[in-house]
């Protein structure tokens, strides 16, 4: 163990509960993580102590709320190595961050015949906005294929990213396969052709050290709720100069400097992109989750997840009727293991596991094109975080055994 798991677990009230009379085993962290008491307390503190709107008020509560909100922006910048808090735009989620780029940068920039390059492992949030943008601008969407282990085929990357490419949009860590993509290499290649790069970091920033200046990506999008924070808070990082060039995404209050009936001018970045009253309470509470992870050390978070993935893959590979998807080396993947059990639909498996107190995700994971690449309808997915420990895998294996007996799948081998 890289840190004291039981001490960490004591910080998460929900982990004390039972599900169907069994201890909760929470393996659905790629969807959303649980929250430590410090985050819950921070959320309550906002409503209990300094609930007010931000930026516009001059009374004590408004000033305190504004200071806390903007302090979180600085904490986000520090956490990801951004050069300034002005590079951090708050949104509702990763999806909105990507849509912001599609609308504010893409519509202004792309022309007919320009190319947008994505990968076959992308989440729907990093596919559909580009499809809509291509329809609007006449741009062409190109797809990078994957190999048998779920990695990008680099020869295809080099051939598809070319002079017509204006944007490469790719996940840093697949939410299904766990594949960790070589973002720095992709950025270098794209920039050599004058293209921008957007990184979907929803799965990577919560699980590994990420320095956006080292990546040199143009846009990085992620969400608070996947890294111990509240729901309803997303982040878009981009260099300040690039944000200055972009048009507003939403129009209304706060994003303006001056308004008349004839025209309007815009606020400075990042506030130009934050129209209306934002999610103040959850942004302020997000700061507590960043502090929690910083205290643990993201290197330690990553090391722990490698241990968990290695143990899970070892245990699952001992079950004859289980197929595991993604890279074979645990160090080449994030904290997720997608798998199927012969002759059992993942939804049925998930239902049986739930009866054993085990929470997993079952379905297409908002990655239907990837399911087609894998030639499956859906998969089961176990995903891990800082409070999971190896002994919890016993409940997962027992639940799979129970489902195999129930649906008469091939018997388990090994122990």
CATH of domain 297-407: 3.90.1150.10
Report pLDDT for 415: 41
**pLDDT tens for residues 306-347?**
999 999 999 999 999 999 999 999 999 999 999 999 999 999
Q: Confidence band (pLDDT; 50, 70, 90) for 253?
A: confident
Per the residue annotation, which of 87, 284, 321, 366 is the catalytic one? 366
Q: Are 218 and 238 in contact (CB under 8 A)?
A: yes
**pLDDT tens for residues 125-148?**
999 999 999 999 999 999 999 999
Q: Confidence band (pLDDT; 50, 70, 90) for 296?
A: very high
- Tokens, residue 410: 């091939």
For CA atoms 222, 386, 181, 194, the dihedral sign is positive
Q: Confidence band (pLDDT; 50, 70, 90) for 70?
A: very high
Q: Which of 155, 185, 159, 148 is nearest to 170 (CA)?
A: 185
Distance CA 66, CA 60 (A): 10
Quick check: 80 pLDDT over 80?
Answer: yes
What is the phi-psi region of residue 66: left when phi exceeds 0, alpha when psi lies from -120 to 50, beta otherwise? Answer: alpha
Mean pLDDT, range 140-168, rounded to an integer: 95
* Residue range(s) of every CATH 3.90.1150.10 domain in the chain: 297-407
Q: Are 312 and 384 in contact (CB under 8 A)?
A: yes
Residue count of the chain: 415
Maximum Cα–Cα distance for the chain, whole Å?
75
Report pLDDT for 186: 97
Quick check: 410 pLDDT over 70?
Answer: no
Q: Identify the top-confidence range among 53-62, 134-143, 147-156, 398-407.
A: 134-143
Report pLDDT for 260: 87
**pLDDT tens for residues 6-33?**
999 999 999 999 999 999 999 999 999 9
CB-CB neighbours of 48 under 10 Å: 9
Quick check: 412 pLDDT over 80?
Answer: no
Distance CA 356, CA 350 (A): 10
- Kindly state the helix (H) or strand (E) to which residue 140 belongs, with its residue range: strand 140-144
Q: Are 380 and 411 in contact (CB under 8 A)?
A: no
CATH of domain 40-294: 3.40.640.10
366 is catalytic: yes
* Residue range(s) of every CATH 3.40.640.10 domain in the chain: 40-294
Distance CA 407, CA 338 (A): 20
- Tokens, residue 138: 């006449």
**pLDDT tens for residues 182-213?**
999 999 999 999 999 999 999 999 999 999 99
| Close Cβ partners of 309 (under 8 Å, ≥ 6 residues apart) | 178, 330, 333, 334, 335, 336, 337, 384
- Tokens, residue 129: 């906005």
């Amino acid at each position: 163990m890289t840190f004291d798991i039981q001490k960490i677990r004591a910080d998460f009230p929900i982990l004390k509960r039972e599900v169907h009379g069994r201890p909760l085993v929470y393996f659905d962290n790629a969807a959303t993580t649980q929250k430590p008491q410090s985050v819950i307390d921070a959320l309550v503190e906002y409503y209990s102590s300094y609930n007010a709107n931000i930026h516009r008020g001059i009374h004590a509560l408004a000033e305190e709320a504004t200071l806390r909100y903007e302090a979180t922006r600085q904490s986000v910048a520090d956490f990801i190595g951004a050069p300034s808090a002005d590079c951090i735009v708050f949104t509702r989620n990763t999806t909105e961050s990507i849509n912001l780029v599609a609308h504010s940068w893409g519509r202004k920039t792309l022309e007919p015949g320009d190319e947008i390059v994505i990968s076959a492992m992308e989440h729907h949030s990093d596919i559909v906005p580009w499809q809509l943008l291509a329809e609007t601008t006449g741009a062409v969407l190109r797809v990078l294929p994957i190999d048998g282990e779920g990695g990008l085929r680099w020869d295809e990357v080099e051939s598809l990213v070319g002079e017509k490419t204006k944007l490469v949009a790719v996940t840093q860590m697949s939410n299904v396969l766990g594949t960790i993509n070589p973002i720095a290499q992709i950025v270098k290649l794209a920039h050599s052709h004058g293209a921008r790069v957007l990184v979907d970091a929803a799965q990577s920033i919560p699980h590994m050290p990420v320095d956006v200046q080292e990546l040199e990506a143009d846009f990085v999008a992620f969400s608070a709720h996947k890294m111990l924070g509240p729901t309803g808070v997303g982040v878009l990082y981009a260099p300040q100069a690039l944000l200055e060039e972009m048009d507003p995404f939403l129009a209304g209050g706060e994003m303006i400097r001056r308004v008349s009936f004839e025209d309007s001018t815009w606020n400075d970045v990042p506030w130009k992109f934050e129209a209306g009253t934002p999610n103040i309470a959850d942004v302020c509470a997000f700061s507590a989750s960043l502090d929690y992870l910083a205290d643990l050390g993201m290197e330690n978070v990553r090391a722990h997840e490698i241990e968990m993935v290695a143990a899970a893959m070892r245990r699952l590979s001992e079950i004859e009727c289980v197929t595991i998807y993604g890279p074979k080396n645990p160090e080449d993947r994030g904290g997720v293991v997608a798998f199927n059990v012969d002759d059992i639909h993942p939804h049925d498996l998930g239902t049986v596991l739930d009866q054993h107190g085990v929470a997993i995700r079952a379905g297409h994971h908002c990655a239907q094109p990837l399911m087609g690449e894998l030639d499956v309808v859906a998969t089961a997915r176990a995903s891990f975080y800082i409070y999971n420990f190896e002994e919890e895998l016993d409940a997962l294996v027992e639940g799979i055994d129970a489902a195999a007996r129930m649906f008469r799948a091939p018997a388990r081998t090994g122990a």
